Amino acid sequence: MSRKGDSFAGLTVALVTPFQDGEIDEAALRKLVDFQVEAGTDCVSPVGTTGESPTLTHDEHERVISIVCEQAAGRIKVMAGTGSNSTAEATRLTKFAKAAGADSALLVAPYYNKPTQEGFFQHYTAIADAVELPIVVYNIPGRTAKNIEPDTIVRIGAHPNVVAVKESTGSMDQASQILATSELTVLSGDDSLTLPLLSMGGGGVVSVVGNIVPKDVKALLAAFGAGDLAEAQRWHHKLFPLCRDLLGLATNPIPIKAAMQALGRDTGEVRLPMTPLSEAENARLVETLKTYGLEA
């Protein structure tokens, strides 16, 4: 069946925000966008979890969105991270993203203040009412401290401007319920769960590992789309150790930035309170990269 957010199906890469001596490295950010365009990635998502949005100032947050939209220049879609635990601030950021040329907005569930389910519903509805831009609900209770329940997501998804959900609960039951009872496109928020989610009718993934191997993630998606389950499973098993370490060695985006540094694609710099991998963790990551076939 066709779904509301089918135009955002496929591979969206959750971009890191590159830093150099504590400042945003704008030239490096532009290169990241070009790399994804050349890889055939469908969409990039700046200033989400992987983009270290909690440590960016409001001006920096807007600057990153502007740079990515400008560099994308219509060659690749942009799903800008515009979420906040303040509805007014999320609305302002979403309006900014639209003006900057973003194709959609990724809005994380309000964190720390832990709204009721009705609060979640009213939060997303208010933003969707205020901004004519496709909205992707980002549900990641491991970071926000509270789940947006499936029934609530279905209610939110009835709004014409809400088209998809980035499903990061790790619950296949939750994803199944959303797929069965709504027209929303469901995107995996966990690289290692992409194939299981596709098998239930999911539309793709918002990927961390895609920062370094976007073509491989695309190959998994293409194999599944072509009905070649054995080939999709082969890619899943190849990618799994990399996905496991990039999200398991330390809090995202610490490992992916370390991996990009090892591959000569980033300084590896993170902002406090994020801290670099330990020597032992970094050694394990480098070994995983080598085993995968990526030369550090």
Catalytic residues: 138, 166
Using DSSP's 3-state secondary structure scheme, residue 162 falls into strand
- Is 157 within 8 Å of 167 (Cβ atoms)? no
Identity of the amino acid at 97:
A
CA distances from 226 to 174, 214, 230, 232 (A): 26, 18, 11, 9
| Rounded distance between C-alpha atoms, residue 137 and residue 106, angstroms | 6
| Rounded distance between C-alpha atoms, residue 287 and residue 94, angstroms | 40
Residue that has been written with the tokens 């609305």 in this structure: 91
* 49: exposed, middle or buried (Cβ count in 10 Å: 0-12, 13-18, 19+): buried
Q: Give me the residues paired with residue 275 across strands.
A: none
225: number of Cβ within 10 Å: 13
For 181-216, b/e burial (b = at least 16 CB within 10 A) is ebebbbbbbbbbbbbebbeeebbbbbbbbbbbbbeb
In sequence order, the 6+-apart residues with CB closer than 8 A to the CB of 51 are 14, 15, 16, 17, 45, 64, 81, 253
